[in-house]
Amino acid sequence: MSQTPAAHAAAILDRLGVTRSADGLASFTPIDGSELGRAPLTPVADLSGVLDRAGEAFRAWRRVPAPRRGELVRLLGEELRAAKDDLAALVTLECGKIASEGLGEVQEMIDVCDFAVGLSRQLYGLTLPSERPGHHMRETWQPLGPVGVITAFNFPVAVWAWNAALAFVCGDPVIWKPSEKTPLTALAVQAVFERAAARFGDAPAHLSQVVIGERDLGEALAADPRAPLISATGSTRMGKAVAATVAGRLGRSLLELGGNNAMIVTDSADLDMAVRAIAFSAVGTCGQRCTSLRRLIVHESVADTLVARLTKAYETLPIGDPREAGVLVGPLIDDDAARNFAAALDRARTEGGEVLTGGGRLDRAGVYVRPAIVRMPAQTPVVMHETFAPILYVLTYRDFDAAVELQNAVPQGLSSCVFTDRLREAETFLSAWGSDCGIANVNIGPSGAEIGGAFGGEKEPGGGRESGSDAWKAYMRRQTQTVNFSTDLPLAQGVKFDV
């Protein structure tokens, strides 16, 4: 690219009408380590005013009929379509995704807006039979209140949309605290939202707010009871801290945390399909997805063949500037990620592992590494730990039930998959005694989820569910209502209390 990342980012932000700051939080591109720009910081002391304004927006927005709220989200989807190329390019610049992944992330935002528009007419409750004559019972779902959304660098815009599109149609304002590594994409999305709000005409002010800052700002947001729900995406360490803080005030938390995802490849598997699925799942986004493939559990009869094919594929992976055509592996987010990558490989060696390919850092500006394949003698401690980098640990198995147990024997339970041509193995994997993960796939990799299904995992991933299905219920409060339309006042359970 002839244009520097900073000039490229400045042109995009100017087109979107984003105001930057001369002395705010600096954003550095992993492409070459240069500064992209600065975002205005939100002092922690100012957060109280942000929450007060969100409360005012809530009191107005909850009175708007849900289908009308859906109209705002429809307009947001239109504005995202118009800004798709610019937003995708900014995602690439700020977090290092290759161009097609940046475009895919913005498409995910558009898709969840479409989902939420339909949802705005389907916030269904229940009618219930009453044991008391002349009484009617029902359950309804009511708006909850301001939602705090804390997002991670690796999906700098899509996770906001998963939460915000649903929150808006459910009647809730959103306060977004993006990763301190990707503040510019958040400001760009806010500018796009404001265009949609202007077209909508009567949306309350401060329905969507962005706060920029470090860890202390996120901690303050999590601690404030004026945000009844905190949706947090990031590391398990961060999620445990958020969960404890929110639980301490009896609030709600929706957590999407780490993963240590496995693929079981059986002796009946289509190895051509498996190689393609492994390559994307393990090295896509440079191994920086929560659903990235980290553990490959292969039947011993096909292990050598599969590993040889994978090694050959890895050694031809195009690594470089993610803006360039043909590049499949961009950079890690920063030097800390590169150090963790190297440390994990060193630890794997000390635990008996053999690095079959990759592992080095490229001698160029930016944080570029060669994705690694490591053959391990067992599921050692380093294998059970999630390293947010492109390391694929290979283990072998003989008995299918033992393979499933091996997959489940880690603290994380986000995503999982099996490649098999046997119906019995596939259905066992999907059974109650099969995969213990929130996501379980057959003959596709563990990453690349669609928005229609609720996304999330069990154990250390936190148990939260975002995006499709009935994930909307997290953003609302359930109310059981009873109406007496008779002239009598019978009590439930036959209780008599006459005065």
Catalytic-role residue among 290, 386, 437, 460: 290
Q: What is the DSSP letter of 485?
A: -
Q: Give dist(CA 195, CA 72) in Å, integer.
A: 10
Catalytic-role residue among 256, 386, 460, 466: 256
Question: How far out from the chain centre does Cα 454 lie?
Answer: 11
Tell which residue, 223, 249, 255, has the closest CA to residue 237: 255
Phi, psi of 25 (to 5 degrees): -75, 125
Q: Is 437 a catalytic residue?
A: no
Task: Give alpha helix (H) positions in 271-430.
Answer: 271-283, 303-314, 335-350, 381-384, 400-408, 423-429
Q: What residue ranges in 52-153 does DSSP mark as E strands?
A: 126-128, 135-143, 147-150
Instruction: Name every residue whose Cβ is closer than 8 Å to that of residue 427 and which is 6 or more positions away in sequence.
Output: none
Q: Give dist(CA 119, CA 460) in Å, integer.
A: 29
Q: Is 95 a catalytic residue?
A: no
Question: How far out from the chain centre does Cα 34 lie?
Answer: 26
Q: Give dist(CA 220, CA 218) in Å, integer.
A: 5
C-alpha triplet 342, 151, 457: angle, nearest 5°: 75
Q: Give dist(CA 488, CA 499) in Å, integer.
A: 14
In contact, 264 and 419? CB cutoff 8 Å: yes
Tell which residue, 284, 278, 239, has the closest CA to residue 262: 278
Which residues are the active-site residues?
Answer: 256, 290
